């Protein structure tokens, strides 16, 4: 539907006029911030800039329709929206441009993200949730184009759950009957991404209150529309999604980015439809411009024609807004000039205040360092060079922290032979800075407050002779049943999770018992399954997103890596999404069923817990731990463990497994073999064979790869046995290399080793199919036996002659 102004000649009340002039003020304020922002970059005061100029008017309309409790998931053009809501001051805007590391200065990211990455803070200092229904909320932006879409789906889906799942009614801090709308924004070119289409389809299927606005400026950096979109129009392409009288779907609106009244109508209507009916709405905002081009990295004169540039000038939304205001007699051109001049002066003032606060902190550090270097110089035999370095440091133009710290470190190296009475003070100051800089640049990768998963008290499973022998999957089933009963926030979803209770039946019967909103089937769409999990977790729920097989995690990996794993870090603890990703792997057979790309996970998911339970008793205990805390996690169950017999713990649902604490499965004296998951059984079998030939193997199950052995269990074992092998079924250089590095770097074992530390991974290729393929691709019992034997042979060839 094309939304066009219908009230051009309408007269406005005083109140309306005031509101329109307020909008004008916000628009020009935002514009001046963009214009000055670019200059700051060119003056060398900031590294890079990307701005929201040319997109102001639509965002003001969106802000009008946005209510408390609503969520935004958007991208780097949305400064005007955030300003219009009152969630971003001009000073904060510039603080982020400069990368000011104070949370108060840049509440979105504490200087950790480049400018234009918006976020509100959902979490209090002590880790508790704020009252999200009484606030305007913005999920924390990320840079990859269209990656805001999957979590947008989840943010909207949460409203669906809050409305439909009666068990959630008491969670008044997070929702009022699911009335909250999730508002998304995306650039025209970014709609070419797969995750845009996947998210759009899923939102249509789920009928969630999601309003997605496409800011269409005809370009994606230098590439014009014709290279991006079939028929050149995303709303035309998506026309088939339009709902009809008989079929559910979308409401699709088209509106011009310079048409003030139509924008207001479109956004108001969209908000109403989404909020009341839970129908997704797509607003295609066309004819937007980029007055300053894409970003500070280039100039658009290089790729836009003179006609296009002229068109962009003529159709600039603020120019058009001025025309609208004057032709409707709302204000005179002079009045508007006055507002504009005031806004410009205000932006300049705020910008200068932001720069002053940002640079003052660093200048103070620099001055202290210079003083300390000078006083150290007086006591030192290297006086001349130190004074010279102090002088050079003092002269730095626009100094950054690196200038200060790298000078001090160089000086401490120069002073290596001098005693503490000379360098003690400088060193002590430097060490204080190390702590402060850790907090500024490195903290909050994981939850650090009372909700840390490492702080959950360990409770042992109660198992005795009377405990029933059941299939592994039944242990999980009992756990999920208990948790569904006891935690209304918990729900599980994924492909085949609902009706049949997952492909291995750990949820069998639980949908029938607890309802479709608790145990739910989804389409085949790993990327948005993850997004659905992230978005719902951001709104206070406890989702368990299932990825059917570990190898298919790749489809969702980007969201996990770029968004979830970095969320707590990039907001410096301002947001968290305690999503649990459940999947199954290990000892699968086949090229796309390897079940073991752990190195891939370890490298890309720092910020998440990576748990690798060897059986379902351990898995249930890990889930219990995770649900009592707020770190996001991936748990990889053993595919071949669902039908193996385990004893049903009597306290299922209540016992917990300590994360980061390996378990010694078998004690031994000659050699330590460290492994996890399904390889535990293979190594145990090998250890039994080796015992028969006089080799005593200590077998350790690491249980979690992230965190990794925070108790030093492996180091203690190596100090006893003096030999170690790290075994798993990942590729060479994958998780075995990771485990070796962790132990060498953190557990002081090198001097206790009598033999080279070894790894025993799978082959470099993915596993060939079937049991023989598995045998010849992944470590077998014989491989473990021979590898251990070889090490023993090297240390005592007489006792252990070569095979
Ligand atoms: C996955 C990914 N690929 C490439 C980029 C680099 N990039 C940043 S913005 C952009 C163009 C986006 O254009 P559009 O979606 O139209 O938004 P606009 O900047 O025009 O508002 C590109 C290619 C990126 N950030 N992420
Ligand atoms: Mg664009």
What is the residue-wise DSSP string for 599-620?
HHHHHH-BTBEEE--SSHHHHH
The residue written with tokens 């079937």 in the block is: 770
485 to each of 153, 470, 514, how far by Cα in Å? 26, 21, 8
Residue 586 host element (H or E): none
Q: With contact defined as beta carbons under 8 Å apart, do 378 and 341 qualify?
A: no
Parallel/antiparallel/unpaired status of strands 645-647 and 469-471: antiparallel
In total, the chain counts a number of residues equal to 803
Which stretches in the chain have pLDDT values below 50?
7
What is the rounded CA–CA span in Å between residue 779 and residue 763? Answer: 8
* Predicted local confidence at residue 322, as pLDDT: 98
Residue 34 in contact with residue 51, Cβ under 8 Å?
yes
The pLDDT of residue 5? 62
- pLDDT for 2 equals 82
Task: Name residues whose C-beta falls within 8 Å of residue 244's C-beta, 6 or more positions apart in sequence.
Answer: none
- Residue 144 CA to ligand 1 centre (angstroms): 7
- Which residues lie below 8 Å from residue 775, measured CB to CB, with a gap of 6+? none
Q: How far apart are the first and last CA of the chain?
A: 79
Report pLDDT for 595: 84
Examine residue 707 and say whether the peptide bond preceding it is cis (omega within 30 degrees of 0).
yes
Write down the pLDDT at residue 594. Answer: 86
pLDDT of residue 587: 75
Pocket test for ligand 1, best of 220, 222, 233 (most atoms within 8 A of CB): 220
**Residue 802 CB burial class (10 angstroms; 0-12, 13-18, ≥19):** exposed
**Measured from the CB, is residue 221 less than 6 Å from ligand 1?**
yes
What is the Cα–Cα distance from 145 to 196, expressed in whole angstroms? 9
Q: Is the CB of 224 under 6 A from ligand 1?
A: no
Task: Please indicate whether residue 189, judged by its CB atom, sits closer than 6 Å to ligand 1.
Answer: yes
Residue 276, classed as helix, strand or coil, is: helix
Instruction: Label residue 554 exposed, middle or buried (CB < 10 Å: 0-12, 13-18, 19+).
Output: middle
CA pair distance 501, 494, nearest whole angstrom: 10
What is the model's pLDDT at position 9? 52
CA–CA dist 514, 167 (Å, integer): 10
CA 89 – CA 141 distance, rounded (Å): 17
DSSP 119-185: ----B-TTSPBP-GGGS-EEPPP-SSTTTHHHHHHHHHHHHHHHHH-GGGTT-TTT-STT-PPEEEE
Atom number in ligand 1 closest to CA 187: 15
Q: How remote is the CA of residue 216 from the centroid of ligand 2, in Å?
A: 5
Q: Is 300 noted as a catalytic residue in this protein? A: no
Q: Cα–Cα distances in Å, from 91 out to 36, 83, 96?
A: 12, 11, 9
Q: How far is CA 247 from CA 97, 205, 240, 250, 522, in A?
A: 46, 11, 11, 10, 20
Catalytic residue among 12, 100, 593, 711: 593
* pLDDT on residue 7: 47
pLDDT at 10: 63
Write down the H helix ranges in 693-802: 713-721, 735-746, 770-777, 781-795
Pairing type for strands 697-701 and 251-256 reads unpaired
Distance 372 CA to ligand 2 centre (A): 51
What does the pLDDT look like over 370-408, one tens digit per residue? Answer: 999 999 999 999 999 999 999 999 999 989 999 999 999
In short, whether 190's Cβ falls inside 6 Å of ligand 1 is: yes
Closest atom, ligand 1, to C-alpha of 216: 16
């Amino acid at each position: 539907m094309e939304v066009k102004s219908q009230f051009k000649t309408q007269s406005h009340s005083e109140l309306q006029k005031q509101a329109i002039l307020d909008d004008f003020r916000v628009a020009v304020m935002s514009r001046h911030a963009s214009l000055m922002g670019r200059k700051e970059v060119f003056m060398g005061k900031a590294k890079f800039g990307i701005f929201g100029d040319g997109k102001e008017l639509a965002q003001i309309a969106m802000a009008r329709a946005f209510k408390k409790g609503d969520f935004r998931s958007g991208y780097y053009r949305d400064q005007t929206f955030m300003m219009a809501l009152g969630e971003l001051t001009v000073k904060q805007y510039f603080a982020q441009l400069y990368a000011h590391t104070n949370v108060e200065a840049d509440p979105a990211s504490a200087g950790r993200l480049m400018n234009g990455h918006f976020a509100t803070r959902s979490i209090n200092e002590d880790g508790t949730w704020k009252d999200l229904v009484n606030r305007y909320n913005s999920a924390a932006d990320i840079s990859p184009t269209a990656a805001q879409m999957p979590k947008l789906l989840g943010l909207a889906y949460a409203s669906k759950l809050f409305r439909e799942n009666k068990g959630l009614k008491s969670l008044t801090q997070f929702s009022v009957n699911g009335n909250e709308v999730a508002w998304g924004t995306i650039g025209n070119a970014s709609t070419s991404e797969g995750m845009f289409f996947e998210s759009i389809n899923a939102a249509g299927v789920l009928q969630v209150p999601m309003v997605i606005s496409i800011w269409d400026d005809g370009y994606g950096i230098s590439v014009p529309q014709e290279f991006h979109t079939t028929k050149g129009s995303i709303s035309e392409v998506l026309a088939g999604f339009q709902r009809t009288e008989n079929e559910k779907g979308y409401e699709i609106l088209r509106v011009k980015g310079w048409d003030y009244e139509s924008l207001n109508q479109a956004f108001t209507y969209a908000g109403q439809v989404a909020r009341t009916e839970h129908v997704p709405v797509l607003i295609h905002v066309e004819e937007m411009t980029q007055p300053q081009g894409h970003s500070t990295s280039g100039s658009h004169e290089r790729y836009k024609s003179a006609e296009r540039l002229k068109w962009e000038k003529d159709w600039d939304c603020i120019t058009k807004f001025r025309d609208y205001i004057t032709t409707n007699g709302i204000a005179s051109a002079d009045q508007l000039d006055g507002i504009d001049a005031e806004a410009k002066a205000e932006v300049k003032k705020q910008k200068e205040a932001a720069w002053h606060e940002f640079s003052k902190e660093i200048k103070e550090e620099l001055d202290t360092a210079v003083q300390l270097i000078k006083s150290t110089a007086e006591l030192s035999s290297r006086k001349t060079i130190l004074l010279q370095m102090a002088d050079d440091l003092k002269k730095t133009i626009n100094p950054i922290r690196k200038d200060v710290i790298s000078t001090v470190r160089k000086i401490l190296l120069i002073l290596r032979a001098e005693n503490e009475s000379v360098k003690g003070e400088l060193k002590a100051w430097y060490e204080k800075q190390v702590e402060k800089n850790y907090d500024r640049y490195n903290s909050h990768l994981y939850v650090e407050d009372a909700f840390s998963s490492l702080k959950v008290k360990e409770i042992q499973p109660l198992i005795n002779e009377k405990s029933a022998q059941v299939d592994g999957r039944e242990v999980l089933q009992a756990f999920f049943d208990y948790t569904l009963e006891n935690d209304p926030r918990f729900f599980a979803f994924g492909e085949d999770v609902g009706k049949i209770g997952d492909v291995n039946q750990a949820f069998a019967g639980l949908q029938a018992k607890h309802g479709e909103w608790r145990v739910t089937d989804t389409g085949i769409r790993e990327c948005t399954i993850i997004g659905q999990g992230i978005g719902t977790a951001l709104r206070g729920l406890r989702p368990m997103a299932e990825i059917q097989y570990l190898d298919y995690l790749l489809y969702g990996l980007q969201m996990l890596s770029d968004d979830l794993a970095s969320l707590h870090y990039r907001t410096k603890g301002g947001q968290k999404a305690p999503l649990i990703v459940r999947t199954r792997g290990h000892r699968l057979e086949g090229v796309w069923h390897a079940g073991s790309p752990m190195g891939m996970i370890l490298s890309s998911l720092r910020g998440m817990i990576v748990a690798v339970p060897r059986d379902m008793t351990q898995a249930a205990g890990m889930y219990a731990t995770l649900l009592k805390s707020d770190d996001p996690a991936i748990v990889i169950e053993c595919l071949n463990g669902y039908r193996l017999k385990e004893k049903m713990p009597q306290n299922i649902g209540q016992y917990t497994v300590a994360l980061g604490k390996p378990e010694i499965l078998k004690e031994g004296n000659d050699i330590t073999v460290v492994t996890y998951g399904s390889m535990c059984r293979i190594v145990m079998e090998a250890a039994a064979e080796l015992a028969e030939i006089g080799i005593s193997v200590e077998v350790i199950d690491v249980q979690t790869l992230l965190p990794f052995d925070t108790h030093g269990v492996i180091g203690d074992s190596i100090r006893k046995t003096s030999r170690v092998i790290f075994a798993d079924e990942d590729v060479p250089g994958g998780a075995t290399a990771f485990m070796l590095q962790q132990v060498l770097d953190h557990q002081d074992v090198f001097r206790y080793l009598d033999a080279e530390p070894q790894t025993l991974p799978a082959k470099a290729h993915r596993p060939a199919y079937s049991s023989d393929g598995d045998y010849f691709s992944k470590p077998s019992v014989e491989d473990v036996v021979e590898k251990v034997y070889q090490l023993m042979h090297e240390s005592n060839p007489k006792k252990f002659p070569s095979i």
